[in-house]
Chains A and B, each alone.
Chain A
Amino acid sequence: MGELRLMKGNEALAEAIIRAGADGYFGYPITPQSEVIEYLTAEKPQERTGMVVLQAESEVASINMLYGGGATGKKVVTSSSSPGISLMQEGLSYIAGAEIPVLVVNVVRGGPGLGDIQPAQSDYFQSTKGGGHGDYRLIVLAPSSVQEMSDFVPVAFDLAFKYRNPVMILSDGAIGQMMEKVELFDTIPRLTDEEVKERYPWATNGKPKGGERRIITSLDLDPAKMEEHNRHLQEKYRKIEENEVRYEEFQCDDAEYILVAYGSSARIAQKAIQLLREKGVKVGLLRLITLWPFPYKRIEELAAKGVKGFLAVEMSAGQMVEDVQLAVNGKVKVAHFGRLGGIVHSPEEVVEALEQKIIGE
């Protein structure tokens, strides 16, 4: 068994970054995730593993530090919250275009604008549909516990390097700030420079002796070549959709109704299911782990199998619900419930929403 600790979600994430063998963290403070950089600077990871930690002058700089560092084959990561992630969108588009493996963590807060510092899930569109300019996708993982804030870090790095694609961990202010017991995984050693060079021959870390120089760019002025590059990206995204969909089901076997949720909302939905089951309502939960790729097929199967209705529970005005609707494709009822602007809904509100919006009608 790994080391057990009582930690905040943000601290567990920071500790996992060091243990995952990351080479560099570049970030700019913003509530509700500043504990990440505070923890990292206090832990002196340069002494523990040789990892670099740098407070950048802005999120624009941090994402471009990731672009530069990631393009050399090193494991690099940043974290921020909603307004900061908005500032990173140009950089993320370049990173996706140039196919650089990086990890970006968004501990979401209420918006739009400066919004507030309370938990929200209103950055779903931005995270799963691209966010910046051009046709691209991030792989998006949604932790719903402090344990997963730690566990998803090495998974995210593996996916990033496997597909040469930016990966986002989409958390929220509640998961970031809450304290829970966490079992930490053992430290994975950082790769040596030689190992990096051997594993990632595409990376720009000094032209190999007697070999060809490498170029990292997202530019091609020839539209025919740009189209070809886009097709290549799309093929890669189809492969990710085929292989990397992750979700978890609770009590879905006999369910007549299904709540679809992720992150904090999934925890609340679980409690709501308990209350509904006590009332005799057969309800289950589909908890999303990857938001992109999205489990369209599984939802389609559940709809075909006789589920009478789906309720998308998310702390937004209705973003993830659009993907549920796409999957269900009009076969059965789909509705949305969620509080806005940083208000966390209660299990009772979820119960009421299912009764009124799905069962009652």
Chain B
Amino acid sequence: MSEIAIKDIIKTENLVYKKTKLMTDKPLSYCPGCGHGTAHRLIMEVIEELGKENDTIGIAPVGCSVLAYEFMNVDMQEAAHGRAPALATAIKRLWPDKVVFTYQGDGDLAAIGTAETIHACNRGEKIVIIFINNGIYGMTGGQMAPTTLVGMKTSTSPYGRDVSLMGNPLKITELVAQLPGTYFVSRQAVHTPSAVRKAKKAIRKAFQNQLDDAPGINFVEVVSNCNSGWKMTPVDSNIWMEENMFPYYPLGDIKVDGEIIK
């Protein structure tokens, strides 16, 4: 293609995608191929589309996404490991008109922060929880998570997760769906364009519910890869995720408008 032809194409009217201004220009600290960045972008796109840039407070966890506040261009707080739902509870109760969300990994939300997760859900706090389940502790170098699959090798289950020693992978999303305090519970992925579209729809619904003052928590799990922790190429990790994670953590809505549908 000649140079002139490219110039002709680069025009505003030909734009098919524009980075949301609610993502900063700071280069993401995530490993190339990791799902965290895509999940960040979807949340920020939704907040921009809902016009809530100036009314949102986000809580970053401890985990690979500890620096989410560097990338998300809204007011942000960085919680202690597992405690994001406690911070969010107080913020929402003190500022009921604001949009409040947490962003948490599986170690953060389903191990050290289990009590805060369950009780925020049980109280029906009117917040959004975005839960990134990659089945491993990415940040600390690939140790076993509560969501690590049976037989899966990690640095603290080097021979594979053995149920008799280490217990079963925890389906915390199904668990919180049982609580009357959750209003919308969905499990999504962000590894293909069609998955991204569905995930965005779920995230949008979660935030819209909060804006509509829906009575309860809006909880969206994103099953994601950790290509570094899983010791795979990004492409292989996505195939592995489809073949191994999705059967145990099936995608789709679990609870809608307070009713369990699956």
Contact = CB atoms under 8 A, between A and B. Distances in A.
Contacts of B59: 68
B78 A217 contact: yes
B119 interface: yes
7 contacts: A67-B87, A68-B91, A72-B91, A204-B75, A206-B55, A206-B75, A217-B76
Contacts of B86: 56, 60-62, 64-65, 67-68
Given A52-B94, A72-B94, A213-B75, A207 B89 contact: no
Interface string B69-87: 1000111111110010011
A58 B77 contact: no
Contact of B77 (A74, A76, A193, A204): A204
A217 B61 CA distance: 11
Contact of A71 (B55, B56, B77): B77
A65 B94 CA distance: 10
B76 A206 contact: no
A68 B87 contact: yes
Interface string B102-140: 000000000000011001000000000000000000000
B53 interface: yes
Interface string B201-214: 00000000000000
The CB with the most chain B CB atoms within 10 A, among A90, A94, A204, is that of A204
B57 interface: yes
A108 interface: no
A221 to B, nearest CB: 8
Nearest to A57: B119
A187 B192 CA distance: 58
Given A68-B89, A91-B80, A61 B54 contact: no
Contacts of B197: none
A160 to B, nearest CB: 16
Nearest to A54: B93
A76 B56 CA distance: 20
Interface string A64-94: 1111110110101000000000000011001
Nearest to A68: B87
B95 interface: yes
A68 B76 contact: no
A218 interface: yes
A68 B77 contact: yes
Given A71-B77, A214-B75, 4 more contacts: A61-B83, A71-B91, A72-B94, A219-B78
Nearest to A71: B77
A306 B115 CA distance: 57
**Residues of B in contact with A, size category:** 20 to 34
Contacts, number: 124
A204 B100 CA distance: 11
B90 A68 contact: yes
Interface of A: 23-24, 26, 52, 54, 56-58, 60-62, 64-69, 71-72, 74, 76, 90-91, 94, 98, 193, 204-209, 213-219
9 cross-chain pairs, A with B, having the tightest CB-CB distances, nearest first = A68-B87, A69-B90, A64-B86, A217-B78, A65-B90, A204-B75, A64-B83, A57-B119, A68-B90
The CB with the most chain A CB atoms within 10 A, among B69, B79, B91, is that of B91
B110 to A, nearest CB: 16
Nearest to B24: A213
B98 interface: yes
A144 B87 CA distance: 33
B149 interface: no
Interface of B: 53-57, 59-60, 66-67, 69, 73-80, 83, 86-91, 93-95, 98, 115-116, 119
B66 A64 contact: no
The CB with the most chain B CB atoms within 10 A, among A67, A68, A214, is that of A68
B78 A218 contact: yes
Contacts of A91: 80, 83
Nearest to A93: B80
Contacts of B91: 68-69, 71-72
B54 A72 contact: no
Contact of B79 (A58, A68, A193): A68
The CB with the most chain A CB atoms within 10 A, among B54, B75, B93, B98, is that of B75
Contacts of B80: 64, 67, 90-91, 94
A205 B91 CA distance: 8
Contacts of A71: 77, 87, 91
The CB with the most chain A CB atoms within 10 A, among B73, B88, B95, is that of B95
A72 B57 contact: yes
Nearest to A100: B77
Given A64-B83, A90-B80, A91-B80, A72 B93 contact: no
A23 B91 CA distance: 11
Contact of B69 (A58, A193, A215): A215
Contacts of B116: 57, 60-61, 64
A202 to B, nearest CB: 11
A206 B98 CA distance: 7
A208 B57 CA distance: 12
B87 A206 contact: no
A148 to B, nearest CB: 27
A67 B90 CA distance: 9
Nearest to B97: A193
A16 B119 CA distance: 29
A76 B88 CA distance: 14
A204 B54 CA distance: 10
A195 to B, nearest CB: 14
A72 B98 CA distance: 11
Contacts of A69: 87, 90-91, 93-94
